[in-house]
Chains A and B, each alone.
Chain A
Amino acid sequence: MKQDFRMTYPLWNMAFILILAVMAVGFTSSFVNVTKTDSSLSIQAQALEGFLLFAALIAYLVLITIYLIALSSYNRKNPDKKISPFSMRPPEYMEQDEGMTFITRKAVQKVYTFITWTLPFFALIVMLFPIPRLFIVWGILAVAFGQNLIYYLEMRRQLKGATE
């Protein structure tokens, strides 16, 4: 089960979210000017923000390359349970039988409970306080990170308990 790509899928999501959080510093900074015309998009940024944006873009490209290599390797080794990177349905759902469906449902219930509380709470905070755009983006990414973390830890806990 440890080799199952679906098990580690939330960790990939979390890594992508962390890079997006760094990228957000560059994109949401007031020192960054984005000019869009019909035929081009030019981005002007100050030194630090520009560096963070550039570094995050490079990191994102590197990670997505590693991810695609790992995914195609998994798909080659597991032709009967291939994962599509373009699937709308989260690939981390493990539903190969009723026992796995049961633990997936338990993990998803925990995530749902987390989202049910955090999103309205976050919306309220944003309404009440003049929060900078960067912090709002970070808040949304923190919720996304949290949901993946909760799902991963719950699945790991359940599967750890299923030792022979």
Chain B
Amino acid sequence: MLSNRVKELRARYGFTQSELGKQVDVTRQTIAFIEKGEFSPSITLALKLAKVLKVEVGDLFWLEEE
């Protein structure tokens, strides 16, 4: 299962889901799906998110044992 720190880091930088979505060219809903772990983003989107949230992709997304 893919886990992530998107919500935590978004809160740290004071972004709303809409603001973060705008910065990476996706809807607010897509950010919400990612934060809830319901949707695994593409490599491109993961890289964009990592860049905006100023972390390495590996520190933003990681695989967790089932």
Contacts and interface: CB of A to CB of B under 8 A. Distances in A.
Interface of A: 1, 96-100, 102-103, 159, 161-164
Given A98-B45, A100-B27, A164 B16 contact: yes
Nearest to B44: A98
Contacts of B16: 164
Contacts of A103: 29, 33, 39
B36 interface: yes
A100 B45 contact: no
Contacts of A96: 27
Contact of B32 (A97, A98, A102, A163): A163
Contacts of B39: 98-99, 102-103
B29 A162 contact: yes
